[in-house]
Structure 1
Amino acid sequence: MTVVHLRHAEPGLLVIAPDGAPLVTDAVPGLDALVLEVAGGHLSWNLLDNELVPGAVLDDVEAAQDWVWAVYGEEVALAVADNHARALTAVPARPESAAALRRLAYAHWASRWWPASTVDGIPALDPRLLHEEIEVLTEQCEMMVDERSREPVADVAETAEGDAESIGRSRGRAEDYALAAGGADSSDGLIVARGSGGWDWRRCPPGILDAGEQAVSWQVARAAGVSTVRVSVVAAPDCPRVVADHLRPYARVRSAGTEFTTPLHLSGDAWTGAVRIPGQSEISPEITVFVPGVGPADPVDESAVRDRIRRFARRRLTEPTGEPRLSAETDAAETDEDF
């Protein structure tokens, strides 16, 4: 049994939610929020807990009545019909339906946020297996999901130029990747600084960049009064060999109060680029990697939640979690030893 609170949000919206549940009305939904569009509203769960009962935001109470009963039970369904705000006890009338909805939301989440990383040893999920399972789960939940949840989730491979034969997965191993750019290359002069770090997952579609927190590396070299900042980002394990122009990433370099932007180009298993800065640049420039038009303009530091999601993904592939794996996760776990 779970206590939920029935309340009115902005005009026309009714909220049903356990304490702390993510909601689509949140200013910035978390990276760890599972969201599913259903008839008459949206459901949401937290990825990192095992709570079966979701938060819900209803914009059409009549359309939502069937699944409200299944997911929250009779007491909550009657309260929704009466439209009275109060605390209630949720007991799903059809726990199997509630579980299928959460699993469908998780499958959609995995198609967007699964942290595939050669650096961290987390293999990519096969998008075709994911899409097939989403279709099966959608059919199981057909009386509850919104028609828009039936649309296939696009992956980078589908937007790449060329046919399927032009798409291949990187087979590199985590230990093959140095975490600082440049190495022995000193053609730009004396290397005065180097470093590595992560990138904001909201700023790039899936399947392009490695999701590791050390996937971005940079070095600063100086020669003849010019500083050259070279940036390298490990490509995602399932990055296609050819990526459409509108999906190609850029690097923004902020140094000494000045901002420079350069496109990154895929070479082997890394996206690389460089900017030249006249004069003596800062020893530690600020590096931002992004795809134009993707994500928020003013991102916040989400490195802690990214780390929790990576640990979650590793557990899903290596340990019993109490929840059955998706077929794509089973496939990834079987090939994980060779990753």
Structure 2
Amino acid sequence: MTVVHLRRAEPGLLVIAPERTPLVTDAAPGLDVLVLEVVGGHLSWSLFDDESVPAAVLDDVDAAQDWVWAVYGEEVASALADNRPAALTAAPARRAPAAALRRLAYAHWASRWWPASTIDGIPALDPRLLVEEIGMLTAQCEMAVDGDDGEHGTERDAGSGNRGSMPGTQEDFGLSDSTDERGPLGESTGSRGRAQDYALAAGGADSSDGLIVARGSGGWDWRRCPPGILDAGEHAVSWQVSRAAGVSTVRVSVVAAPDCRRLVPEHLRPHARVRVRLPADTEHDRPGPDVEMPLHLRGDAWTGSARIPGTPENSPEITVFVPGVGPADPPQDESAARERIRRFARARLTEHTGDQRLSAETAAAETDEDF
């Protein structure tokens, strides 16, 4: 049994939550937050917490009463009906539906945040298997989730920064049914390179266009791009700056996602923004103008190049994003959280955990050795 706190939050909102469980009202929910829209409000769990009792933010208590007793038990349901804030003991009256709700939230999370990476050897999940399982779980959770909410149970406001997530499946981004499985020349896109083929994230050979003055690699903000486009590895982005005939050129390459389709719609194609620091006459350098470039899919990488002013004395700052996707003001560096999610995903495919795999995870685990 779990202790939960029933309290009033913002005007018109009631919260039922165990200690330290993330809420959808948090200023910047982490990448590891599972969210499900339910009748009368939203439920949330932590990905890394085995606790099956969620946090709830309710905006319609009367509508939520039909499922609160099943998820939290009679004591909590009675206190909610009486509008009586208190610390209470949650004991789900129906454990199977309560567990199915978390599993549904996890399936939605996986459809958006699963860290598919050729570099890290994490295969992509089959989006059709995910959609099928989400449909079955939605039917099991009909007491709390209606059909429309179940289809987009983790949808959040991508532009506000308050809901750092997006609709779940590739169909939401026009990457599935409207896109052929084969590229424009009929080449198969179902097989990508192996992890060892990407030792330095498409770092490439020396440029023949001049002297290479700087190069490096790094990750990208997962909030800024839909799934199925970029490799989720922390070294998926590589860049180099070359100098020839007094002109500096930056080239950016990003490894494509293992399940990236060849015909990505134009509005979902990634861009790179380059910010450089230029020498100054004073003790400090000065910021140069940002340079933005579209990236084009060539082989298994998204690439682009652009001229930059002067000769940068420090490594440029590279930001990869899809225009209009993600919060305007990204959270602080989340590389540690991304790495923890990668470890979680590898464990799901290679270890026996207490939580049953999704069907898409089982299929990915069976093909993992050949990835």
TM-score tier after normalising by the smaller chain length = over 0.9
1:8 aligns with 2:8: yes
Task: Go from structure 1 to structure 2 and tell me whether the alpha carbon gap of 1:95 and 1:328 turns closer, same or farther (over 3 Å shift).
Answer: same
Q: How do 1:301-316 and structure 2 match up within 5 A?
A: 301-316=333-348
The number of residues matched between the two structures is: 339
Q: Judge conservation of contact 1:41–1:56 (CA < 8 Å) in 2.
A: yes
Which of these residues, 170, 193, 201, is aligned with residue 155 of structure 1? 170
Q: Judge conservation of contact 1:317–1:330 (CA < 8 Å) in 2.
A: yes
> How far apart in 1 are the matches of 2:309 and 2:202?
21
Which of these residues, 315, 340, 343, is aligned with residue 284 of structure 1? 315
Q: TM-score normalised to the size of structure 1? A: 0.96
How much has 1:244 moved relative to structure 2?
0.1
How much has 1:151 moved relative to structure 2?
2.5
2:180 aligned partner, one-letter code = D
1:80 aligned partner, one-letter code = L
Q: How do 1:14-33 and structure 2 match up within 5 A?
A: 14-33=14-33
Q: Deviations over 1:109-168 (max 9, x none)?
A: 000000000000000000000000000000111121144323265406961464344472
> How far apart in 2 are the matches of 1:164 and 1:87?
53
Runs of 4+ in 1 over 4 A off after TM superposition: none
Q: How do 1:253-268 and structure 2 match up within 5 A?
A: 253-256=274-277, 257=287, 258-268=289-299
> How far apart in 1 are the matches of 2:2 and 2:225?
36
Q: Judge conservation of contact 2:52–2:98 (CA < 8 Å) in 1.
A: yes
Q: Judge conservation of contact 1:108–1:134 (CA < 8 Å) in 2.
A: yes
Map of 1:113 onto structure 2:
113
Q: Judge conservation of contact 1:23–1:29 (CA < 8 Å) in 2.
A: yes
Q: Judge conservation of contact 1:181–1:230 (CA < 8 Å) in 2.
A: no
Map of 1:249 onto structure 2:
270
Q: Deviations over 1:73-131 (max 9, x none)?
A: 00000000011111101011111111000000000000000000000000000000000
Q: TM-score normalised to the size of structure 2? A: 0.88
- In the alignment, structure 2 segments of 5+ residues that lack a partner are 153-167, 278-286
> How far apart in 1 are the matches of 2:172 and 2:325?
18
Task: Go from structure 1 to structure 2 and tell me whether the alpha carbon gap of 1:176 and 1:156 turns closer, same or farther (over 3 Å shift).
Answer: farther
Q: How do 1:1-339 and structure 2 match up within 5 A?
A: 1-151=1-151, 153-155=168-170, 159-160=174-175, 162-166=179-183, 168-179=189-200, 181-256=202-277, 257=287, 258-299=289-330, 300-339=332-371
Q: Equivalent pairs: percent with the same residue? A: 77
Q: Judge conservation of contact 2:182–2:262 (CA < 8 Å) in 1.
A: no
> How far apart in 1 are the matches of 2:97 and 2:179?
40
How much has 1:220 moved relative to structure 2?
1.0
